[in-house]
Amino acid sequence: MRLPLESRVLFAVAAALVPRDLRPGWRREWEAELWWCQPFSRLELLQRISGAIPDALCLRIDQADVLPVFRRTLPRPSTCLAALLLLIAALASASHGFRHTRRALAPVQLPRLAILSQTGPFMGQRLGLPAAKLAIWTSRARTLEGASVYIFYRSVVSIGAEPPRELSAAKAGPEFFSLLGVPAPLCADCVVLGPRFSGELTGRTVIVDGRRARVTAVLPRAFWFLDAAPAVWTLWDPASWRAFPDSLTGAVCRLKPGVAPATAERELRQLAAQTEPWAPGRRISVDPLRDIARRPLTALGPMWLAFLLASCLASLAASHGRLFLMLKSALALVAVLLVDLEFGGATAITSTGGASFGDEAVAFWLLLTGSGLALWWSWRDHRQRCHHCLTRLSMPVRITQAARYLLEPSGIELMCPHGHGTLLTTEGSTPESHWAPLEIEV
Amino acid sequence: MRLLLVSVLVIASVLAQAPARPDFSGHWALASATGTAPPGNLALDIEQATTAIQIKAAWQEPPGGSYGLTTIGIVTPLARFTTGGQEDLNQVGPFVFHSRTRWDGPRLVTTWNTSEFQGHSFKGTWTRALSADGRELTLEIAASDSGATSTRAVLVFHR
C-alpha cells in the first residue's frame, strides 16, 4: 500500500520511536492495520496513523527506564514549547485538521449567496420564513437572482441491505443546489446523499421517509451549508407536513450582481409590509453566507488579539527570556482559541444562519477565562525559570525561621539545576522575588 | 429421539398455556373520540402477523390542514411495529418515531417518543384492546410534548 507523503513521514517518526529489536514486528502489525484503511481520505489516514505515536511510545517506555530522562528533560524550555506544539497537534487530530477554523478562513466560492431569516420578537432571535410567503417575495423582488427553501429534520433512512436508521436529513427546493453551484438534481423520486457517503451509491435505490428514491448525486467532500450536515437531501413539497403548520423553513438566496445585502434587505422588508400585515418586532434579514461562515473569527478575533497584544507587551517588559515568554504565551493563546473554535461551540450555526445564545455565551466566556488562565500560567511558569538558561528552578527551600520574621526576609528559595543562580520569593503583604546569580557553574 | 420427543412436548405444553392474542386485523372506522379532535373519516387498516403489526391510516384532510398532535403517529399513512419489544423506527412527518410494542395480556401496549423538530418533541403510550365480541377496538392515548403538556384521549373504532 502506497501512503501519501505526510502519512509516510508520520509513520517513519513513529517507527523511529519503537526500540530497534521490536521495530520489524511493530511495522508489520501497523502495515496490516493500514491496509484496511485504503478507502480513507488523506486526512482520515493521517488521523489513523497518529495513533501509532502513542503505541510506539508505549513500547519505548516499556523497554527503557525513562523516568530519569523525563526528570532531566521536563524542566527545559524547549520541552515546554514542544508540549504546547504537541497539544496543538492533538487538537488538530481531534478536530479533523481544524475543520471549523479552516472553514471560517476559507474563501467562499459563491459570494452572492445569503441566508434570509426573520428576527423574532424575543431578543432578536432568528426564525425561519413561511415557505408560501417566500415564494411571493422572491417572485417580486428585483434584487434577488433566485431563492430556495430548506428545512432540517430527522429521517429514517435505509441504504442497501442495511437496517433502517435515524439520520439527519434536509428538504430543499428544486433549485437549491443550482443556487449553490453544485450539480445535484433534486426531484420527487430522487435524493441527494451527503458527503459522508461513497460516490458509488449514485444511481442506487434507498428508502427515505418510508419511500423508495433513487440517488442522483453524492455531494463532494468540500460541500458545506451551515452546520446541520444532513446525510440525505430530499425535495421540499409544499404539501409536506401539512399537519405541522408551525414549521418555518430556512431560505437561501442569490443576490443579483452588484446588489448589496442591505439593498436586498430593504426591498424585502418593503415587499413583506405590502403583502401581509407583518407581526410587530419581526424584520427580514439578509446575511451573506461568507459573513456567517466567518462570524466566529470576527466575533472572537478582536478579544483574542487584545490578549495576544497584552502578552507581547508583558513579554517585552520581562527581565529575562523575552522571546521564550512571548512564544509560550502565543502558543498557549493559540491553543485556547483553537479549543474554543473547534469544541467550544463558537462555530455552531443554527439552521437560519444564526448562533444560539448559549453557544455564543459559552464561546465568549471560554475564550475570556481560557486566555486569562493561559497568560497567568505562562507568567507564573516564567517566574520559576532560571534567568540564565530558562530551565525550571528546583529544590525549593524555606528560608529563615519563624522567630526571626521581623528581622529578615522570609520566603522560599529555588535553585537552577545547572547552578546558574537562586531565586528567593518572599512572602508577606508585598511578595517579591530576587534573583541572585551564582558565579560557580556546575 | 427421546430428547426430541421431550422437547416437542414441552413446547406444545407452553403453547397450550400461552394466552390467545387478540387479532386486530381488519378495517376499522373511527366511531368516537374523547380528549382529542382527530381528522374526519379516520380509518385504520390493520394487518397483524405473529410478531408484527402494520397499520395504514386514511383520513380526510381538515380545511386548515392541521389537527391535534395528540394523534401523532396514529394519523400517519403507514406504520409498522414489531410486537416483541424491539425498537421500531417509523417516519411521522418531520419526526422519527421510536417505539417499543409488547403484549400485556390481551392488550397491545406501545411506548414511544419522537425525535426533535424545531424545538418540539413528543412521547407517550398507546394501549390497544379489543372488545369481547371483537367488533370494537379501543385505543387509549397518553401523550406529552417537550413543554411537559400532557393529554389523554380515547379513540373507539368499529369494524
The whole-number pLDDT of residue A442 equals 46
The whole-number pLDDT of residue A21 equals 86
Burial class (CB in 10 A: 0-12, 13-18, 19+), A426: middle
Mutate to test the interface with A, among B75, B116, B117 (most CBs of A within 10 A): B117
Nearest CA in chain B to A170: B94
The whole-number pLDDT of residue A367 equals 93
Nearest CA in chain A to B91: A209
**Section A399-418 average pLDDT:** 71
Q: Could you tell me which residues come within 8 angstroms of residue B14 by beta carbon, excluding any fewer than 6 positions away?
A: none
Mean pLDDT lowest among A27-31, A233-237, A280-284, B55-59: A280-284
Interchain proximity A210–B118, CB inside 8 Å: no
Mean pLDDT lowest among A102-111, A282-291, A411-420: A102-111
Give the gap in angstroms from C-alpha A169 to the nearest C-alpha of chain B. 10
* Chain A contact for B27 (CB, 8 A cutoff): no
The whole-number pLDDT of residue B13 equals 57
Q: Is A173 in the same domain as A306?
A: no
* Domain limit, last residue, from A248, A273, A290: A290
Cell of A210: 418510508
Q: Is A157 in the same domain as A124?
A: yes
* Chain B contact for A155 (CB, 8 A cutoff): yes
Within-domain flag for A68 = no
Tell me the Cα Rg of chain A. Answer: 29
CATH architecture of B23-158: Beta Barrel (2.40)
The whole-number pLDDT of residue A49 equals 85
Question: Is residue B67 very low, low, confident or very high in pLDDT (cuts 50, 70, 90)?
Answer: low
Q: Is A213 in the same domain as A331?
A: no
Residue B9, pLDDT > 70, answer no
Residue B54, pLDDT > 60, answer yes
**Section A301-314 average pLDDT:** 93
Q: Is A281 in the same domain as A237?
A: yes
Q: Is A258 in the same domain as A166?
A: yes
- Phi and psi, residue A434, nearest 5°: -125, 125
Structural domains in chain A (count): 4
The whole-number pLDDT of residue A323 equals 93
**Section A52-73 average pLDDT:** 77
The whole-number pLDDT of residue A225 equals 85
DSSP string, A134-153: HHHHHHH-SSEEEEEEEEEE
Q: Is A284 in the same domain as A299?
A: no
The span from the CA of A432 to the CA of A438, in Å, is 19
Most confident of A106-115, A169-178, A265-274: A169-178
DSSP A4: P
Q: Is A318 in the same domain as A284?
A: no
* Chain A contact for B75 (CB, 8 A cutoff): yes
- Phi and psi, residue A30, nearest 5°: -75, -35
Reference A92, options A149, A63, A153, A50; nearest CA is A50
Comparison of pLDDT for A3 and B152, the residue scoring more: B152
Residue B101, pLDDT > 90, answer yes
DSSP string, A391-430: PBPEEEEEES-GGGTTTS--EEEEE-TTSSEEEEEE-SSS
Q: Is A188 in the same domain as A176?
A: yes
Q: Is A35 in the same domain as A132?
A: no
* Domain limit, last residue, from A233, A259, A290: A290
- Phi and psi, residue B79, nearest 5°: -140, 140
Within-domain flag for A442 = no
For the stretch B130-159, pLDDT in tens is 998 889 999 999 999 887 788 899 999 998
Q: Could you tell me which residues come within 8 angstroms of residue B15 by beta carbon, excluding any fewer than 6 positions away?
A: none
Interchain proximity B95–A164, CB inside 8 Å: no
Q: Could you tell me which residues come within 8 angstroms of residue A279 by beta carbon, excluding any fewer than 6 positions away?
A: A121
The span from the CA of A169 to the CA of B142, in Å, is 29
Question: Is residue B29 very low, low, confident or very high in pLDDT (cuts 50, 70, 90)?
Answer: very high
Q: Is A349 in the same domain as A363?
A: yes
The span from the CA of A319 to the CA of A302, in Å, is 28
| % pLDDT > 70, chain A | 89
Within-domain flag for A76 = no
Q: Could you tell me which residues come within 8 angstroms of residue B81 by beta carbon, excluding any fewer than 6 positions away?
A: B52, B53, B54, B55, B88, B90, B99, B101, B110
Q: Is A317 in the same domain as A371?
A: yes
Comparison of pLDDT for A39 and B130, the residue scoring more: B130
| % pLDDT > 90, chain A | 23
For the stretch A130-166, pLDDT in tens is 777 788 888 888 898 888 989 999 999 998 778 889 9
Residue range of the domain that includes A421: 394-437
Report ipTM (2 d.p.). Answer: 0.80
Its pTM surpasses 0.80: no
Number of Cβ atoms within 10 Å of the Cβ of A438: 14
Residue A109, pLDDT > 70, answer no
Residue B74, pLDDT > 80, answer yes
Burial class (CB in 10 A: 0-12, 13-18, 19+), A153: buried
* Measured distance between the N- and C-terminal CA atoms of chain B, rounded to whole angstroms: 48
The whole-number pLDDT of residue A218 equals 92
DSSP string, A187-223: -TTEEEE-TTS-GGGTT-EEEETTEEEEEEEE--TT-
* Chain A contact for B93 (CB, 8 A cutoff): yes
Comparison of pLDDT for A136 and B5, the residue scoring more: A136
Residue A413, pLDDT > 90, answer no
